[in-house]
């Protein structure tokens, strides 16, 4: 494995000296996310394998090229998992791609985001240096929490080599409920329930139907089910539903129309925007098909959030931009970080914002 790193150090040095960009690619399952690749492709999926796993300590360390399905299988053998339910978007998904994309699944509303479970990272920067940040315990941060900064950075800061993650035991019991309800009432109910001690681990509203998942101790799940009512889903049907939501294999997510992701305060009212809507995370994540870019971003900002062009063709991304434009002060911070980690701008040029 060390030969791979030595080879990459040479490739980085060559690219830096000739002002060429490198496009980091692991499994390629999330190439659709962010702006299009620029530069020469650098395949990094070969750096794989679980380095250390301590089930009693709830910590696992894996090389970035490790397939997510392999990591999930190893954790499941010990009754554990990655509780933030990272989407795979295909069998080739890797640990490094998971960190670079920074995406979390349906359970994010209950357990937190991917970045909350990142304990440490080993990184190859744009100067050809192998750096380590964080460690393998929760209380390991002194100064800037650089390891978690890499979550969602889309490979713009360096080549991730290893990631240490906190894991949790699988839920003891789960039950999913379904309610026929309109969007306004669904948002009101979700925020009302969110203020109560209910074991809600996921929610999804679409086309007049709200689906709720309860997770935890068997007694707590049963008590919440009796309190909330609704139609109980068969366990197999419920598992298939939440996996399809995580992997965006629903019919809602298919087709060529642009897919927008709105991150809003959970209590924000329904947005007066055209196109079908799907709501997750207790109201904090809302998906929108189609719509005018300016109207969507203005509405999201007015509601106290932001909008991302999650899926679209390259022409639409070039015309509209993928991520909400940054204020000048925040853009300056991004540029300073990029300069600190990748002085020559070698890695994943323009994947997040033009010029970065």
Q: How confident is the model at residue 65 (pLDDT cuts 50, 70, 90)?
A: very high
* pLDDT score of 217: 96
Out of 34-38, 69-73, 137-141, 173-177, pick the least confident. Answer: 137-141
d(CA 293, CA 290): 9
d(CA 325, CA 76): 40
| Residue whose pair of structure tokens reads 């702006």 in the numeric block | 35
Q: What is the pLDDT of residues 277-306, one digit of tens each?
A: 999 999 999 999 988 899 999 999 999 999
Out of 20-24, 136-140, 175-179, pick the least confident. Answer: 136-140
* pLDDT score of 15: 95
Instruction: Record the pTM.
Output: 0.93
* pLDDT score of 211: 98
Out of 90-94, 123-127, 138-142, pick the least confident. Answer: 138-142
* pLDDT score of 318: 87
Domains 2-169+331-341 and 173-251 share a fold: no
Write phi, then psi, for 227 (nearest 5 degrees). -70, -40
116: left (phi over 0), alpha (psi -120 to 50) or beta: alpha
Q: How far is CA 117 from CA 94, 135, 267, 309, in A?
A: 16, 12, 26, 26
* pLDDT score of 214: 98
Question: Computed from CA positions of residues 83, 84, 85, 90, in that sequence, does the dihedral angle turn out positive or negative?
Answer: negative
The class that CATH gives domain 173-251 is alpha beta
In the chain, domain spans: 2-169+331-341, 173-251, 257-312
- Which is it for strands 80-81 and 168-169: parallel, antiparallel or unpaired? antiparallel
* pLDDT score of 253: 95
The class that CATH gives domain 2-169+331-341 is alpha beta
d(CA 188, CA 193): 9
* pLDDT score of 137: 54
Q: What is the pLDDT of residues 210-260, one digit of tens each?
A: 999 999 999 999 999 999 999 999 999 999 999 999 999 999 999 889 999
Q: What is the pLDDT of residues 29-64, one digit of tens each?
A: 999 999 999 999 999 999 999 999 999 999 999 999
* pLDDT score of 356: 85
* pLDDT score of 2: 84
* pLDDT score of 62: 98
Q: For residue 216, which of 203, 200, 231, 232 has the smallest C-alpha distance?
A: 200
Q: How confident is the model at residue 136 (pLDDT cuts 50, 70, 90)?
A: low
Instruction: Check whether 135 has a pLDDT greater than 90.
Output: no
């Amino acid at each position: 494995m060390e030969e791979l790193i030595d080879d990459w150090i040479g490739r980085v040095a060559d690219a830096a000296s000739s002002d060429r960009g490198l496009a980091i690619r692991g499994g390629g399952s999330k190439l659709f996310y962010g702006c299009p690749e620029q530069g020469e492709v650098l395949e990094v999926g070969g750096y794989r394998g679980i380095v250390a796993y301590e089930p009693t300590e709830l910590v696992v360390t894996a090389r970035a090229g490790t397939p997510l399905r392999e990591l999930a299988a190893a954790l499941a053998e010990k009754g554990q998992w990655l509780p933030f339910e990272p989407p795979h978007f295909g069998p080739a998904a890797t640990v490094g791609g998971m960190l670079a994309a920074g995406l979390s699944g349906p359970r994010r509303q209950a357990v937190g985001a991917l970045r909350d479970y990142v304990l440490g990272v080993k990184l190859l920067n744009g100067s050809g240096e192998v750096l380590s940040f964080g460690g393998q315990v929760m209380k390991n941060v002194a100064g800037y929490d650089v390891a978690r900064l890499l979550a969602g950075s889309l490979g713009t800061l360096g080549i991730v080599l290893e990631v240490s993650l906190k894991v949790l035991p699988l839920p003891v019991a789960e039950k999913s409920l379904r309610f026929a309800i309109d969007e306004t009432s669904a948002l009101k109910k979700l925020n009302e329930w969110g203020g109560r001690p209910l074991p809600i681990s996921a929610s999804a509203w679409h086309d007049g139907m709200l689906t709720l998942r309860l997770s935890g101790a068997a007694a707590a799940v049963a008590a919440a089910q009796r309190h909330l009512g609704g139609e109980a889903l068969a366990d197999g049907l419920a598992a298939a539903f939440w996996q399809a939501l995580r992997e965006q294999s629903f019919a809602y997510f298919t087709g060529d129309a642009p897919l927008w992701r709105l991150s809003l305060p959970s209590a924000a009212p329904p947005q007066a925007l055209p196109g079908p809507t799907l709501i997750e995370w207790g109201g904090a994540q809302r998906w929108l098909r189609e719509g005018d870019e300016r109207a969507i971003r203005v509405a999201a900002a007015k509601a106290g959030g932001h909008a991302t062009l999650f899926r679209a063709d390259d022409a639409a991304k070039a015309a509209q931009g993928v991520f909400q434009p940054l204020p000048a002060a925040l853009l300056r911070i991004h540029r300073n970080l990029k300069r600190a980690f990748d002085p020559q701008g070698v890695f994943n040029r323009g994947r997040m914002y033009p010029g970065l």
